[in-house]
A and B are shown apart, each in its own frame.
Chain A
Amino acid sequence: MSARAVDVRDGAAPPAAGDVSRGEPPAPAAAGDAAFLSVRGVSKRLGHTQALRDIDLDARADELLVVLGPTGAGKTTLLRTIAGLETPDAGSVGMAGQDVTAVEPAARDVALVFQNFSLYPRWSVRRNLEFPLRAPGRNIAEAEIQRRIGWAAEILKISRFLDREASRLSGGEMQRVAIGRAIVRRPRLFLMDEPLTNLDAKLREALRVELVELRRTLRTPMVFVTHDQAEALSMADRIVVLSEGRILQTGTPREIYERPVSPIVALQLGQPAINLLRVRRAGGHWVTADGTPLMPALPTGPGERLLGIRPEDITPDTAAPAGAPGDAGEPSGVVKIVEYIGPTTTLLCEWAGARVHIMIPRRGQLRPGDRIRPRIDAARAVLFDVASDTKLPSTGGSA
């Protein structure tokens, strides 16, 4: 991959046409693991709300960074600050090694795609796509404009309706065109603000994969904001978990899913949510308030913890009938609700004095009222400190 920087800012010369005609991705601003975007110590107050608090983040030159958080976490403010639509009260935004904090939005050469499709409804798809390329000062040759539109239309599978009026498109088609309008400009950075949220489930699923593959083809960094944990897990190279204007954790989807730093982060990923059980150390085990032993406990450290265990890491053991040889003991759990969802089945159970979700492969034969002996996979449990909300090391899989 060439590391040649291509400047497609307003008024600058367009990149060599050869790249486009061969269907090659435009050259990125930089290659490899170097950070393209670096946000340092950014804080921003909006009215009475401290929207962002001392944000530090990097997006590498060839990376899809997802910012995940609930409504009001500060995601959109962060994106707008990166785009230059908001000026931070403190801190800086850097791109390709250059401080752009004071640079005008148009000169940052980033493309924003919003949740709402924001097309000109009476214009054809083609005209919508041409518009950003015909902006004053761009001076892009006509042949080049058409080449880029053809290239974007093919990638996004919208060639068929280039001459259709935008208002006649379905929601999914419109959002494809909106993305097309962002990629024809070949910006240095994509900023996506919940672009899939208003689409129906089937389209979301399809566009999720398309966007990831598109970004990889373009090799342009992308910051993608969402409140949807499935989007975050499946799309991200890395996830930044944002809450009340603060970054709680940054890591790969696996790191955050398997080793969340706090119960708040743990609850943001996974559906159904992680089970959180208050436990205390007794007789070498972590036991719940009603005395149910869950897993072995090391003899040191705090005597009370919050134990996090994902639904798929509990087995609803039914094999040994009560009174069978061995120490299986009485079944301690009861199945309350069975939710069949295709490849898996979710059980809501009453166990260990709590309501616990267990996920099993779909062929399970369990019914409401069945008694079970849940077993947790201790190696996959996470122990949180009750007081400090900080993750502590698991006692490991010595069960």
Chain B
Amino acid sequence: MSFLALEGLEKTYADGTRAVRGIDLGIEEGELIVLLGPSGCGKTTTLRMIAGLELATGGAIRLAGRDVTSLRPSRRDVGMVFQFYALYPHLTVRENIAFPLRAAGVSPAEVSSRVDAVAARMDLVRLLPRYPKQLAGGDQQKVSLARAIVRRPAIYLMDEPLGTLDADQRLAMRELIRAEQLASKVTTIYVTHDQEEAMSLADRIVVMEGGRIRQVGTPAEVYDRPASRFVATFVGSPGMNFIAGEVVPGAAGPAGEGTFVAAQGKVRIDVPSARPGEVTLGIRCEHVYEDPLGPIAGSVVTEEYLGNASNVHVETEAGRLIMRTDSQSRRPRGSTVRLRLDPGYISVFDARTEERL
């Protein structure tokens, strides 16, 4: 039995909006799970139902073996983190961290020992008597995380907590959260629409769309073997390249080998174990290579320099493809190239259902 189990969880609002349409998910103790999806996918509603801030209209929530579906938030032993707010400037680090415990009516002795414990774990002890303005930026973030997690509930629920921070702070905070979660092993459910945040933080990612779960897997599984075109597009920056075409039985290949044909037969690619039919072939930009003997011809439209790499946009006979290259090689606009796809990383989707085949 999972530590946290969502069973057929549903939320339909009074106006008929079906925000969550039947979710089944098991989460193990100590896992960091990220609910990822575009706005309106139901991720925040799901989190709020786990917290007890919304009541489910169907299904059940079990936490550590206990049915908490209709319990009040305060009875569930969950800690909700909305945002890493700025620190109170007039309070010391100790007082800042103690604040949520004091607000919850915890006894002074208990407050003191818990602040000491979190400060020791996060290497903040020497900073406890200081005021926020005496701290370096990175230490301020550490303190705000310490304050957010000083209550030690069975589960942390984090709803886009990095939303208001700028890019550098987000990166630093992401690392802090990961380090702290690895150290404390408190089960954490983290909601975001930022796929990079999801990839970097999660033990497992739950991709949601339209109130349903579209895929559950490790970051590598979701990235390499997306369950649908939606997941393939949403995860990754840029999203996956797609080529529309058809799989025909392979001519001379081994049994089960098919040939993908696109662009009126001008593009032919062997794809292992694909059934004949109309398909969409998917490939990530880092698995597209320049190869004079490659099966796809095109010309360079744009090169996006990214510092540590470049994304080269190539208009091909099978549509536009993005190829990731190291940033040292330069390809002038308009130059013709031939492309090869790494066969180990080709995804094949049903053209009609858009599901992975």
Report which residue of B174, B302, B308, B313 has the largest number of chain A beta carbons within 10 angstroms of its beta carbon: B308
In the complex, A311 Cα to B168 Cα: how many Å?
15
Given contacts A200-B193, A209-B302, A343-B286, contact A271 B171 (CB under 8 A): yes
> Which residues of A250-298 are within 8 A (CB) of B?
253-254, 257, 269-273
Q: Contact between A343 and B309 (Cβ–Cβ < 8 Å)?
A: yes
Q: Contact between A233 and B194 (Cβ–Cβ < 8 Å)?
A: no
Q: Contact between B200 and A340 (Cβ–Cβ < 8 Å)?
A: yes
B291 sits at the interface (CB 8 A) = no
B190 sits at the interface (CB 8 A) = no
* Contact indicator per residue, chain A 51-76, by CB within 8 Å of chain B (1) or not (0): 00000000000000000001000000
Given contacts A234-B304, A234-B311, A342-B223, contact A337 B171 (CB under 8 A): no
Select from chain B the residue with minimum beta-carbon distance to A253: B305
Closest chain B CB from A299 CB (angstroms): 30
* Contact indicator per residue, chain A 208-245, by CB within 8 Å of chain B (1) or not (0): 11001100000000000001111001110000000000
Given contacts A201-B237, A348-B175, contact A342 B199 (CB under 8 A): yes
> Which residues of B161-215 are within 8 A (CB) of A?
166-168, 171, 174-175, 178-179, 182, 193-196, 199-200
In the complex, A228 Cα to B306 Cα: how many Å?
12
> Which residues of B256-315 are within 8 A (CB) of A?
284-286, 301-302, 304-309, 311, 313
For chain B, give the interface size range.
35 or more
B217 sits at the interface (CB 8 A) = no
A339 sits at the interface (CB 8 A) = yes
In the complex, A234 Cα to B195 Cα: how many Å?
20
Of B166, B220, B284, B308, the contact of A312 (CB 8 Å cutoff): B308
A311: chain B residues at CB < 8 Å are: 308
Closest chain B CB from A335 CB (angstroms): 12
* Contact indicator per residue, chain B 24-66, by CB within 8 Å of chain A (1) or not (0): 0000000000000011000000000000000000000000000
Q: Contact between B308 and A341 (Cβ–Cβ < 8 Å)?
A: no
A312: chain B residues at CB < 8 Å are: 308
A48 sits at the interface (CB 8 A) = no
B234 sits at the interface (CB 8 A) = yes
A359 sits at the interface (CB 8 A) = yes
A344 sits at the interface (CB 8 A) = yes
A368 sits at the interface (CB 8 A) = yes
In the complex, A55 Cα to B82 Cα: how many Å?
42
Of B285, B301, B308, the contact of A213 (CB 8 Å cutoff): B301
> Which residues of A305-355 are within 8 A (CB) of B?
310-312, 336-337, 339-344, 346, 348
In the complex, A393 Cα to B306 Cα: how many Å?
24
Report which residue of A70, A230, A310 has the largest number of chain B beta carbons within 10 angstroms of its beta carbon: A230
A202 sits at the interface (CB 8 A) = yes
Select from chain A the residue with minimum beta-carbon distance to B285: A343
Q: Contact between B305 and A254 (Cβ–Cβ < 8 Å)?
A: yes
Q: Contact between B304 and A200 (Cβ–Cβ < 8 Å)?
A: no
A163 sits at the interface (CB 8 A) = no
A205 sits at the interface (CB 8 A) = yes
Q: Contact between A341 and B200 (Cβ–Cβ < 8 Å)?
A: yes
B301: chain A residues at CB < 8 Å are: 213
In the complex, A368 Cα to B180 Cα: how many Å?
13
Q: Contact between B308 and A344 (Cβ–Cβ < 8 Å)?
A: yes
Q: A273-B168, A342-B199, A342-B286 are in contact. List 17 more A-B contacts (CB 8 A).
A: A201-B193, A201-B194, A209-B304, A213-B301, A213-B302, A227-B166, A229-B167, A233-B307, A234-B305, A257-B305, A257-B307, A310-B308, A337-B179, A339-B174, A342-B196, A343-B286, A344-B308
Q: Give the top 10 A-B pairs by smallest Cβ distance, nearest first.
A: A234-B304, A339-B200, A343-B286, A312-B308, A257-B307, A253-B305, A270-B307, A341-B199, A342-B236, A340-B219
Of the A-B pairs whose beta carbons lie under 8 Å apart in the complex, a sample of 10, sorted by A's number, is: A70-B166, A202-B233, A253-B307, A273-B168, A311-B308, A337-B179, A340-B200, A344-B308, A362-B286, A368-B182
